[in-house]
């Protein structure tokens, strides 16, 4: 019997197969050889099917960037202290982080949500204070969250999507900031992939060999502590508050018929949790890039997902997801603006 949870994932819309087939015919009938624009054509069909529109929209794009700290850092799983989470959140709010530069280039806005930063952040523009608790517990020693805290973090993600949709967002990307969160993501991959733990652990934010060995020992200890396999229970035992929020956001975005643009290793771990709750979520997701973090390729394989971009990135923050926005806009423009082959042939006669 599955473990009793305090949170039920939302039911997701069923995509209209007839509309999908119509969109494919429309794309195939454009003034180009069928398939000549490769995956761009698939993205156009996917966006139209998700939105339930023959003319999908991709103008307004937002990155929902969830921040939270991890008790696992007490085990030395990161080469940086938890205080860096706070410093990076402030840098993002100042508009001076990598994601800010890339979002500016992609014409996207950013909302930062404090769901679990260990320190108390002062209110300021661009910051949503939705703290569930000041960082997770040490998952190597005890559950990272209580059931109530995990459910609350999932709800924080859903509420962020509600705000984004009300503000007119067409595309919603998942981003994160949280020192130690690659360790949590590795545990989620191990249990929900499933995948061998040693294949799920990478260097994170820059471990040397000694640091990687220390991280591995800590995650082995955590994995031995609990044998959970049900998605909600795995999330609350090993995940992060920001990861839970991203999982809630992914499901809420799909429920609202928005394309979910997934960033790298950490955001994909949240998508993995959400997919294990609602497998049909896969049809709503675009996996923006293949992270260089060890384990991400295996994670994508377990979700039967193909990354859009291969740029050797492994930063997080939503940086890879941001770079997918112009491609999605181009796909929508192709569907909405390119003439049909029939028009070309008619004008040529």
61: tokens are 């794009």
Contact 117, 135 (CB under 8 A): yes
| Paired tokens of 257 | 């018929």
Q: Which of 108, 182, 161 is nearest to 284 (CA)?
A: 161
| Spatial distance between the Cα atoms of 85 and 83, rounded to a whole number of angstroms | 5
DSSP calls for 130-184: --SSSS---TTTS-SS-HHHHHHHHHHHHHHHHHHHHTT-SEEEEEEE-TTHHHH
Q: Which of 135, 147, 252 is nearest to 184 (CA)?
A: 135
CB atoms within 10 A of CB 8: 10
Exposed e or buried b per residue across 225-256, where buried means at least 16 C-beta atoms within 10 angstroms of its C-beta? ebebebbbbbbbbbbbbbbbbbbbbbbbbbbb
Nearest to 103 by CA among 268, 286, 321, 307: 321
- Token pair in block for residue 112: 């930062």
CA distance 45 to 223: 41
In angstroms, rounded to a whole number, what is the distance separating the alpha carbons of residues 63 and 169? Answer: 10
Q: Evaluate the omega torsion of the peptide bond into residue 251 and state whether it is cis, within 30 degrees of 0.
A: no
Give me the catalytic one of 111, 149, 176, 317: 317
| 199 catalytically annotated | no
Q: Could you tell me the two tokens for 58?
A: 């991709």
What are the catalytic residues? 317
């Amino acid at each position: 019997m599955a473990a009793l949870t305090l949170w039920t994932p939302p039911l997701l819309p069923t995509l209209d197969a007839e509309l999908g087939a119509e969109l494919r015919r429309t794309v195939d009938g454009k003034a180009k050889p069928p398939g000549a624009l490769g995956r761009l054509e698939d993205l156009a069909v996917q966006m139209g099917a998700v939105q339930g529109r023959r003319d999908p929209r991709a103008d307004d794009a937002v990155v929902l960037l969830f921040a939270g700290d991890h008790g696992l850092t007490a085990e030395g799983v990161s080469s940086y202290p938890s205080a860096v989470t706070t410093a990076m959140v402030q840098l993002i709010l100042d508009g001076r982080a990598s994601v800010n530069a890339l979002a500016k280039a992609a014409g996207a806005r950013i909302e930062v949500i404090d769901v679990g930063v260990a320190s108390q952040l002062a209110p300021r523009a661009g910051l949503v204070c939705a703290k569930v608790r000041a960082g997770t517990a040490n998952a190597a020693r005890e559950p990272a969250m209580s059931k109530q805290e995990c459910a609350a973090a999932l709800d924080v993600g859903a509420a962020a999507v509600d705000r984004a949709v009300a503000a007119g967002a067409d595309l919603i990307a998942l981003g994160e900031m949280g020192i130690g969160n690659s360790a949590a993501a590795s545990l989620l991959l191990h249990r929900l992939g499933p995948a061998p733990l040693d294949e799920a652990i990478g260097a994170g934010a820059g471990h040397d060999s000694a640091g990687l060995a220390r991280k591995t020992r800590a995650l082995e200890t955590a994995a031995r502590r609990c044998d959970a396999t049900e998605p909600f229970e795995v999330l609350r035992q090993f995940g992060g508050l920001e990861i839970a929020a991203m999982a809630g956001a992914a499901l809420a975005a799909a429920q609202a018929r928005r394309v979910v643009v997934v960033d790298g290793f950490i955001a994909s771990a949240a998508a993995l949790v959400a997919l294990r709750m609602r497998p049909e979520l896969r049809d709503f997701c675009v996996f923006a890039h293949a992270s260089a973090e060890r384990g991400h390729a295996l994670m994508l394989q377990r979700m039967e997902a193909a990354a859009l971009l291969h740029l050797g990135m492994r930063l997080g923050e939503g940086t890879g997801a941001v770079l997918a926005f112009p491609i999605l806009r181009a796909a929508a423009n192709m569907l909405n603006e390119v003439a049909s082959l029939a028009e070309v042939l008619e004008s040529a006669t």
